[in-house]
A and B are shown apart, each in its own frame.
Chain A
Amino acid sequence: MRAWHFSENAYPYLPPADTYSSIRVTLPNRNYDPAKGADLYHRYIDEWLIAEDEGVEIMLNEHHQTATCVDPAAPLVLAILARLSSKARLLILGNPIANRRQPVRVAEEMAMIDVISKGRLEAGFVRGVPYEILPANSNPVRMNERHWEALDLIVKAWTVHDGPFSWEGRFFHQRAVNIWPRPWQQPHPPIWISTTSPSGAAAVGQRGYVQATFLTGFEGTRQVFEGYRRGWQKGGHQGPVPIDRLAYAALVYAAPTEKEAREGAAKLLWYVTSNKVPLHIANPPGYVPVAANLAMMRGAEHPLSGFKKNASVDAAIESGLMFAGTPDQVVAQFKKVYDYVGGFGHLLIMGQAGFLEHDETVLGIKTFAREVYPRLKEAYPDKTPSWSPKAPEGAAKFAGVGAGP
C-alpha cells in the first residue's frame, strides 16, 4: 500500500457563495489576493515536504480558472517539488492532454521533471473535468479520441531515441520530434490515468496503465475497478490485475482524538461542498454521451451531487468518500472500502481543503503517517493481486454520469 498526500492548492478566501454563480470559470479574479495566494503556495509546498519527511508520497493536480485549485500549471509546482524533495515519488494527476495543444511540450515537461528528480516522476494524465473546457476553449466533442492520441504521441516522444520521428494523426501533427532531455526512467515513467466511469476504466485497463478514481464511494469504485479488470483481460494481460494498478482518492483525516479528527474532517468537506458550478458549465455538449445526457434530463444525478446536498462527515464515511477519525477508526473504515471494491494499491489522500489550517493539515499528515500508514502497509502488501468481488444484490449500475470534482 502506498499513500500519497494530495492538496489542490485551494484559495478559500472568497465572498459568500450566494454572491456568485460559480466558483469555477467565471468567478472574477479580483477576488484573488496575490499576497495571500503567495503565502498559500509556500504553505502548501511546505506541507508536501512534511508529507515526504513522514514517508508519504507527493501528489498534485491541475485545474484552471478556479478558486478550488490555483494550480493551472501543475508541472511548475512539480518542478519546484522535484528540486526541494529528495525521496518521495512525484505524482502529477494529471496533465489535461485533451486540452493541451502541444502533447510534445507535455512530454518535454515531464521528461525534465523526471530527470531533475532523478527518476521519481509518476506521470498522470486526465481527460479533464468539464469545467476545463471553457478555459481551454477546447472542443468537448471527441475529447477521448484526442486524449488517447496525445498520450500515444507522448509515449512515442519518450521512447524514440534515434533522432526525429514524424506524427500525422487525427488531431496532432509533428514533422520532427526528438525531445531533449529524454526521461530518466526507462522505458518511461509510470503512467497513470484518472477516470470515474467503468467504460473509461476499461480503456485504461486495456493499456495496463495505473487507474485512479476519485470519490466514487463503495459501489462506484467497485464498478470502476471492475471495468478496469474487464479491460485488462481484453488487452491480453496475463493473470489478475496487480494491486498497484488501482488507486482510490478519498478525503482522509486522522487525529489522536475523535473530536480533533471530526473537526478536521468537517473542514475537509469544503472540497465537495464549495464546488458550486451551474449546469451549463458542468455539462458542456458532448462531454458525456447522449445516453448519459438523456438520463440526466430524465432526472438522474451524479452521486456526488446528491451527497453535496446533505454533506456531513458521517454521510461521507458511510458512502466511502472519507476515512476520518482516530487511527483505529480510519483503519477500520479503510478496510471496509478495500474489501468491498476488490483491493487497491494506492490511497490518494485529499488531506487539505478549504479552511483546514496548516497545523491541522500537518496533524492529519503526521497522525496518518505514524499511526495508520504502517498498519495499512502491513495488512495490504504491494504484491497481492486485486480480485473481483461479488456484485451486491440490486446494486444500481454506475455510469459515471456527469463529472465529479
Chain B
Amino acid sequence: MNFRLLNWFKYASPGTFYPLLDKMIPLFWILTAIFAGLGLWVSFFVAPTDAVQGDGYRIIFIHVPASWMSMFIYIVMACWAGLGLIFNTRLSGMMAQALAPTGALMAFLSLWTGAFWGKPMWGTWWIWDARLTSELILFFLYLGFIALQASIDDPRRADKAGAILALVGVVNIPIIYFSVTWWNTLHQGASVSVNTAPSMAHTMLWGMLLMALCFWMYSIAVALMRVRVIILERESHTEWAKSRVGVAI
C-alpha cells in the first residue's frame, strides 16, 4: 500500500476524522452567510423584474438551488453508500445517513416553491407532470432511505440496506434531469445548460448561482454537523468519544 492510499484511509476512521469537523463546520457556516447575503441582495435588489412573470419569477432564486441540491445530495449520498459497500469503511455509512435528511429537506423545498410558483403562472398548485412527479419520487426515496435505516437496529446492517436502496434510486436522477426533454411537460426546460447560452438575464443568472452556492455551503455545514452527532452516538462506547466531551479520564 503506498503512502497516499494510507493517508486517505486514515480519515475513513471516525476517530481521526472527528477533530477536522470542529474546524470545518464554522468555516462552512461563514461561507453560507456570505453567499446568502450576496445572493439575497442580487435576488431582490439587482436582478430586474421579469418582462413576462413580473416579480413572481423571484421564486426561482430558491426553487432552482433547492432542486439542484436535492439531486446533487442524492448522488453524493449514493457515492458514500457505494464506498461503504465496497471498502466497508464505517465513516461512509455515517456520511450517507447524515446527508439524507438535508436532501429530503431540499426536495421538499423544491416541491413547495414549485407549487407556489406554479399556482400564479400555470394556474395550478400541482400537476402529474414528468418533472414534478419524478421530483416527488426523489422526496419519497429520501424518506424511504431514512425509514429503512431507522428500522434496523444494527447500524452496520442499516448502512448496507440503506446503501442498496440509495444505489438503486440513482436511476431516478437522470429521469428528473432529462424529464423536460424526454416528455412533453408543463415545466419549462433547463434555465442553465452546458452547451447553450443561458436563457436569462445575466444578473438573474448571477443571483441564482450565488443562491446555489449558499445552499451548497449550507448543505455541507449541516451534513458535517449531523455526521458529528452520528459519530458520537455510534462511538459512544469508546474512550475517545468520552474524552472528546472534555471530561478527564
A complexed with B: no
Which of A's residues lie within 8 Å of B, judged by CB?
A: none
Which of B's residues lie within 8 Å of A, judged by CB?
A: none
